[in-house]
Amino acid sequence: MKTNSTYHELLLDERWGSKRQHILERDNFRCRNCFGKEDLQIHHRQYHVWRETGNMVLPWEYKDDLLIALCKKCHQIGHEKYKIPYFEV
């Protein structure tokens, strides 16, 4: 990821906070996999890289349909089980 901020720092940005809240509301504050309500996180179904610069698309710039609410456990299991695809945009 070519950026001046770490991914963790990007997730502290108010723009991500707003996007995260929007996705949680859309998903009724429940994990889309197990329907749990604890330790919710937002999962990117795929990652995008800008073709011109090689920079990652910022977390809050993704379309809503590429983001889902998952509990921490389901999120970890998903990352262990599946490779998240990267696409140039």
CA distance linking residue 70 with residue 36, whole number of Å: 8
Q: Does residue 2 sit within a domain?
A: no
Q: Does residue 1 sit within a domain?
A: no
Strand, coil or helix: 48: strand
Q: What is the pLDDT along the chain (89 residues), one digit of tens a residue?
A: 445 578 889 999 999 999 999 999 999 999 999 999 999 999 999 999 999 998 999 999 999 999 999 999 999 999 899 888 888 89
The count of domains in the chain is: 1
Q: Helix and strand tally (H, E) in the chain?
A: 3, 4
Q: Does residue 27 sit within a domain?
A: yes
Domain that holds residue 15: 7-88
